[in-house]
């Protein structure tokens, strides 16, 4: 099976079929009860784009994580300054 390949190569040693199995229930449960925590997936996608994709595009793609974190830190500081200047 697919999970044995992941375990044998040590790519994903904690591969869990119950987690994968539960995914097939999500569409019907969302239709019955709404989205988890009342959130829409587009909200998390928007946050992912602003926090990950845009800073990654601004980096030089070599050791990108540190550059992305620095970029997010600078953007947060600029946002705070903007709020303080507008007061």
pLDDT digits (tens, 9 = 90+) for 34-56: 776 666 667 777 888 889 999 99
DSSP run (H or E) holding 20: helix 17-22
Domain extent, residue 56, equals 2-86
Q: Is the pLDDT of residue 70 over 80?
A: yes
Q: Token pair for residue 9?
A: 């190569």
pLDDT confidence of residue 42 = 72
Q: How many Cβ atoms from other residues are within 10 Å of residue 68's Cβ?
A: 19
Global confidence as pTM: 0.52
Please count the structural domains in the chain.
Answer: 1
């Amino acid at each position: 099976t697919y999970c044995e390949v992941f375990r044998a190569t040590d790519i994903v040693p904690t591969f869990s079929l119950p987690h994968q199995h539960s995914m097939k229930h999500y569409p019907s449960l969302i239709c019955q009860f709404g989205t988890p925590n009342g959130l829409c997936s587009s909200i998390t996608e928007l946050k992912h784009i602003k926090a990950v994709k845009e800073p990654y595009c601004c980096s030089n793609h070599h050791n990108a994580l540190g550059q992305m974190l620095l970029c997010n830190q600078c953007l947060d500081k600029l946002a705070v300054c903007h709020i303080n200047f507008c007061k």
